[in-house]
Amino acid sequence: MSKDHHIAYDKYMVDAVKSGSQCYIILPLVEESKAERMERFKSAEEEHKRLVEKYPEVTFGILHGKQSSDEKATALKDFKDGKTQVLVATTVIEVGVDVPNASLIIIEDADRFGVAQLHQMRGRVGRGKTASSCFLLLGDEAGYPAQQRMKVLEQSNNGFKVAESDLRNRGPGDLTGTRQSGHKDTLCLARVETDLALVEAARRAAAETIARANVRGESLPAPLAVRIMDRPPALDLNA
Residues 6 or more apart whose Cβ sits within 8 Å of residue 61: 75, 78, 79, 83, 84, 86, 87, 88
- Residue 115 in contact with residue 153, Cβ under 8 Å? yes
Q: Where in the chain is the domain with CATH 3.40.50.300?
A: 3-170
Q: Tens digit of pLDDT per residue, the chain (239 long)? A: 444 556 678 999 999 999 999 999 999 888 765 445 445 677 899 999 999 999 999 999 999 989 999 999 999 999 999 999 999 999 898 777 899 999 999 999 888 888 888 998 999 999 998 899 999 988 766 777 778 788 888 887 777 777 777 666 666 656 555 554 555 555 555 565 566 677 778 778 888 888 877 777 766 655 554 444 444 444 444 44
The pTM for the full model equals 0.69
- Residue 147 in contact with residue 176, Cβ under 8 Å? no
- Residue 121 in contact with residue 95, Cβ under 8 Å? no
Among 116, 96, 113, 94, CA closest to 105: 94
Superfamily (CATH H level) for 3-170: P-loop containing nucleotide triphosphate hydrolases (3.40.50.300)
Name the H helices within 19-158: 34-39, 44-54, 69-80, 115-122, 144-155
239 by Cβ neighbours in 10 Å (0-12 / 13-18 / 19+) ranks as: exposed
- Residue 23 in contact with residue 104, Cβ under 8 Å? yes
DSSP of 78-92: HHHTTS-SEEEE-GG
What pLDDT shows up at residue 192? 58
DSSP of 178-194: S--SS----SSS--TTT
